[in-house]
Structure 1
């Protein structure tokens, strides 16, 4: 597993990390055995970065991580959690010292630790980016020793660019994949200038870029791919990267012809992301040990050639960009 630097945190982490949303909830049923098996497999394969959130299964994801660390012993991987989405309603006024400190204290308990490696504001309302007092609260938590670093998980490129104006924001988590290429036009260059760690989420467009879905695919009622197609529960861009299902399926068939025979389409999609030097780590989810091991293997494949990169850009520009480029 190749390592990359996580921006100004100074940490060196695996370029493929473990996205722990699926083992928490909103991806259909994942048993405790499968959830912990996926984590063990990820760590066995050399992943040293885990991303979670306090709302993933109402803390279920964080608690699984703590249990697996206790079972394994030894040095713990770098863990990033997120906060803010426990607010109901999820409004900017809720991002105050009382609430944010309470959220951190809850994650400290769930993760069974006395200091969190990285805490990210979890796709906060747009107004939060214009409230320096929120970032001052995070600074005080660093000073108090509750968290080591903080960052922001964003929906839009514009939000990312605003967030990194705050000097102590260490990381940005953003959607970037073959279907969401806008971050590479400006944000990545700015992130590198400011030594910002870039964490890439939704790398497989909610599984669409695995190439395993079809027009008749069905999803469990508690799977966001069933209940959030049009943004009913949270931002539409989190589900299939915001691309209409039928459009995505057609684009996948074009992409499929570019995939070499010795690599799965999912691994190909992950390898495409790793072609970008500004990316610190990419965090695909996994529902079981087999998926986690397959994700990790993408780190070992050779770079994609220039012809393939050009063709993927064309597919994006012609088929996908009209639906997503200016929205996120």
Structure 2
């Protein structure tokens, strides 16, 4: 397992983390037993970065994390959570200090922590990034000792670039994978220049880049890959990275041709993300221990050659870009 400093914090984190959305909900049925086993397997493999949110299973994910960590000794991993999506309606006016402090207090209780390592605004409306008072509220909560650091989770490159204009923003979480390559052209170099940590979510395009999903795959009614195909519940870019399903499956077969023998497509796709030096940590999810172990192995895979990297760029340009590039 390889480690990078988490931006300006100087705290070393594994370059493969554990995305805890799956153990919370919206991915079909994942038992608490399997969720605990997946997280323990990830930690045993050297992963020391966990990403969750207060809305993942309405706190279920945070509580599972707290229970697992309370039963383990040694140094505690870096735990990042998110706040804001509990707002109903989800409007920019809701991103005020009172509401944010309430969300943070709830996460402190769920995670059994005295201070949160990192709180991220959870894909707020774009207008929030143009309101300094939102970030002033986070700064005040940091000064109060309830959070150690704050960052943002974004849908759009525009939002990411605006967020890192605020000097207190420690990290940006963004979608970046073989099917969503736009962040590499401007945002990632700028984040690296400013020493802002980059957390990559949806690294496997909701499982498409595992190579295991086919046209015959059926998803549980509680799985967002069933109920959010067209963005019915939240931004469609969170489901299959926003790529139309049939088009994505054809592109997956092109990617498959370049996966080295003996490697899984999932590990290859994660290693592709880590080829960009601006990436601090990628956070694939896992439904069980075996998936968690497989994700962790990606950290130690060999460098991908220039010819294969160019092949991935060509697949994106020719098959994917017109569906996603200008949208996010």
Question: Shorter-chain-normalised TM-score: which range?
Answer: over 0.9
Query: Which residue is 1:7 aligned to?
Result: 7
Supply the distance in 1 between the matched residues of 2:156 and 2:175 (Cα, whole angstroms). Answer: 8
Match of 2:32 in 1: 32
- 1:165 is aligned to 2:154: no
Q: Which digits, 9 at most, give the CA deviation of each residue in 1:32-57, with x for residues without a partner? A: 11000000000000000000000000
Normalised by the size of structure 2, how large is the TM-score?
Answer: 0.99
The 1-side partners of 2:70 and 2:215 are apart by 43
List alignment gaps of at least 5 residues for structure 1: none
Q: Which 4+ stretches in 1 moved above 2 angstroms?
A: none
2: CA distance, partners of 1:9 / 1:101: 22
Aligned to 1:138: 138
> Which residue does the alignment assign to 1:22?
22
Secondary structure of 1:109 counterpart: helix
**Could you tell me which residue of structure 1 aligns to residue 272 of structure 2?**
272
Tell me the distance in 2 between the aligned counterparts of 1:135 and 1:299: 33
C-alpha deviations, 1:153-176, integer Å up to 9, x for none? 000000000000001001000000
CA distance in structure 2 between the aligned counterparts of 1:24 and 1:171, rounded to whole angstroms = 23
| Equivalent in the alignment of 2:58 | 58
Is 1:314 aligned with 2:303? Answer: no
Q: Which position in structure 2 is the counterpart of 1:105?
A: 105
Match of 1:204 in 2: 204
Aligned to 1:236: 236
Q: How many residues align?
A: 328
Which secondary structure state, in structure 2, belongs to the residue aligned with residue 258 of structure 1? coil
Cα distance in 1 for residues equivalent to 2:281 and 2:11:
12
Counterpart of 1:304 in structure 2 is: 304
SS at match of 1:218: coil
Cα deviation, 1:3-37, whole Å, max 9, x if unaligned, reads 01111121110000000000000000001110000
Question: What do the CA deviations read for 1:131-166 (whole angstroms, capped 9, x no partner)?
Answer: 100100000111111000000000000000000000
Partner of 2:123: 123
| Partner SS for 2:120 | strand
Give deviations 1:216-275, integer Å, cap 9, x for gaps.
111000000000000000000000000000000000001101001111000000000000
Cα distance in 1 for residues equivalent to 2:256 and 2:110: 41
| SS of equivalent residue, structure 2 residue 69 | helix
Q: Aligned Cα RMSD in Å?
A: 0.5
Report SS of the residue matched to 1:133. helix
Report the Cα distance in structure 2 between the residues aligned to 1:287 and 1:263, rounded to whole angstroms: 20
Q: Deviation per CA, 1:65-117, whole angstroms, max 9, x where unpaired?
A: 00001111222100000000000110001011111000000000000010000
> If the length of structure 1 is used for normalisation, what is the TM-score?
0.99
Q: How does 1:255-266 map to 2 (within 5 A)?
A: 255-266=255-266
Q: Which residue of 2 aligns with 1:178?
A: 178
- Cα distance in 2 between the residues matched to 1:232 and 1:9: 37
Q: Secondary structure at the match of 2:89?
A: coil
- Can you give the 5+ residue segments of structure 2 that lack an aligned partner in the other structure? none
